[in-house]
Structure 1
Amino acid sequence: MENGNHTTVSEFILLGLSSQPEKQELIFVLFLVMYLIGAAGNLLIILAIGLDSHLHTPMYFFLSNLSLVDFCFTSATVPKMLLNIHRQIQSISREGCLTQIYFCILLANMDNFLLTAMAYDRYVAICYPLQYTTIMSLWLCGLTLAGSWLIANFHSLLHTLLMARLDFCAKNVMPYFFCDLVPLLQLSCSDTHLNQLMILLVGGLIVLIPFLCILISYAHIVLAVLKVPSARGKQKAFSTCGSHLTVVILFYGTITGVYLNPSSSHSAEKDSVASVMYMVVTPMLNPFIYCLRNSEMKRALGKVFSRQTSHSR
């Protein structure tokens, strides 16, 4: 289709993680295994929390939603990548690319907000244990979740609409396994200053403000725990935060490297590794991090497996 003197691109080529044909089978198997492990783990957490009435608390309410978001997060990109490798095609339509961008931003934002809500939950539980049930009410949890989805939808829609107005002329090849903001902007022949400004300003605020809230929550938690007289009490208090803190470090450490750096500092290799980490590896590890360090989750999962065993007999 002609647009002035330019040919408007109607599809993009995703080269994936390697352009070498002999590595495609290995990449397919590796990503399929990671996807299945992550999907099974996150769905098991949702099932275990839903079936165990002892886990119907704010902490596990947010954890079950985090698991749902992580499952959707990987499902937004990995199945398409696996299908492309299986069919030996590398193309994705412009509409499909924009759809991927919308859901990736939406679900990354939800991860961000849910981790913040979980940090606040731990802060209230440790600093105000007697008022915990009053502060962390069902109304507040529901309002927090609804508000998070609303802001995340607005943010993802903003970037998707800004991207939709751009022209793509000759270049349409990305050395990535999914459509993402930064590499797609680099292919545009339009003026992308507004897009980049929105990534740094709006995207920066949406990442920075929740991250600061998490830091403030943990600062108060550390101060409160240091006042606990017994070493066992300190260890118990810190153990309730260890899983969450590990996931926070994994998530923010990778996502800030991709989105909050100037475009001149980006390279395909570094961005691909970081994208795989926060898009596939972190959602896969989350169930293990929360289950291996949490006795209540272990017990709930044990009940799920014992129930399945009794039904199969």
Structure 2
Amino acid sequence: MNTATQRTFAHIEDDQSVSLHTDAIPTPSNGEVLIEVAFAGINRADLLQRKGLYPAPADASPVMGLEVSGIVLATGDDVDPLKVGDKVCALTHGGGYASHCIARADHCISVPENLSLEQAAALPEALLTVWSNVFVRAGFSAGERLLMSGGTSGIGTLGIQMAVAMGGEVVSIAGSDEKCEMLRQLGCKAVINYRDQDLREAFDEAGYSGKIDVVLDMVGGDFTSTCFDLAAVDGRIVCIGIMGGVKSQINLATLFMKRLTLTGSTLRRLSTEDKTQAFIDIRTHIVPLIAEGRIQPVIHATYPLAAALEAQEAMQTGTHTGKLLLDCQIDLA
């Protein structure tokens, strides 16, 4: 482990450039751990924050980055069972684009032995997003059918595997034949190429129209109305993204005739207690499946910390398949 007294962090300036800065390594308080960061995840929330559309809470770190993997370097009190030297991945309250980061101990996951720290950095945000929205908010259970929009994203590639491993059936959409095939290999029963086909017609021909129990909608806009048509009676639609726009025209008759539930959330709106409970559930139900190799993170590319802006721009294009990461391992000696 590094014994430096300063951390290095990435600062994105004027939405156009990134520079590396140093300051004192933070000290963990009660219930917290200091992580020597190996890798940090890039998330769409970072892009929105950079553009001023998703401001960080007042008590959050001004440094970007919501998830990391690395080695526990120091601990506060009451962090049992974590200890110095443990390999962990963690959800953070900002501060992930750095060589060192503070995280709540109850928002950490011990890295399974079959995963590298690079792979582990792809876990926290996606696991929490899928668990809290698909399994908790939408109540998805074995035997049900899930439509995973944004299937090739970091959330999508992990969420598909989670739903299949928990006994569900998953269908998805993608923008190329290659991506469609990749999602089938992850376990999707059917994948529709939205660039070549009308989604309603294609799902109808495949026998899924009106038979989707849960939709994780990362698109919003006009896609939300499509979700109404595809949903089964008592279907649940959880909207967590607005890549297709913030406004949608929906048919209220479909809403009440099918007894649909339309809801949404953001992780920053989850209480600390809800996040903690979600991580307890994830450790119980999902981490063992990861340790067995039944759920594996998909990494698209890893960038150096100084290329944080380039990594965010790569996410903006939507051409990636899987997770985009930052390598935060910097020699501070």
Same fold by TM-score, threshold 0.5 exceeded? no
Structure (1/2) with the larger strand percentage: 2
Which one has a larger percent helix, Structure 1 or Structure 2? Answer: 1
**TM-score normalised by L of structure 2:** 0.25
Higher relative CO (Cα under 8 Å, sequence separation at least 6) belongs to 1
The structure with more radius of gyration:
1
Normalized against structure 1, the TM-score is what? 0.26
